[in-house]
């Protein structure tokens, strides 16, 4: 089975990789903010659902980084 990327030109692939890296950085920053807010919320109000919310997004970030 042929790869979907074999139909792209070199320039299109470079543009796609650059966009994926940018999105991975943005997503990583958002997850980091979620972790910081979860820590502050845990300190203020104790453990709640918001404390564990970043844990659901960390695996997505790891998969995105490995796909680059």
On whether residue 2 sits in a domain, the answer given is no
Angle at 1 between CA 5 and CA 13, to 5 degrees: 5
On whether residue 52 sits in a domain, the answer given is yes
pLDDT at 33: 92
Task: Give the count of alpha carbons within 13 A of 6, CB side only.
Answer: 3
On whether residue 1 sits in a domain, the answer given is no
Q: Please state the domain count of the chain.
A: 1
Only one residue has tokens 């453990």, namely 47
On whether residue 45 sits in a domain, the answer given is yes
On whether residue 20 sits in a domain, the answer given is yes
Determine the structural domain holding residue 39 and report its residue range. Answer: 9-67
pLDDT at 5: 64
Tens-digit pLDDT profile for residues 9-53: 889 888 988 998 898 889 889 989 989 998 998 898 888 888 888
């Amino acid at each position: 089975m042929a790869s979907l990327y074999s139909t792209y030109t070199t320039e299109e692939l470079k543009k796609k990789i650059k966009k994926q890296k940018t999105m991975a950085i943005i997503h990583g920053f958002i997850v980091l903010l979620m972790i910081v807010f979860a820590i502050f919320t845990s300190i203020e109000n104790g453990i709640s659902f918001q404390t564990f919310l970043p844990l659901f997004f960390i695996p997505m970030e790891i998969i995105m980084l490995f796909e680059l």
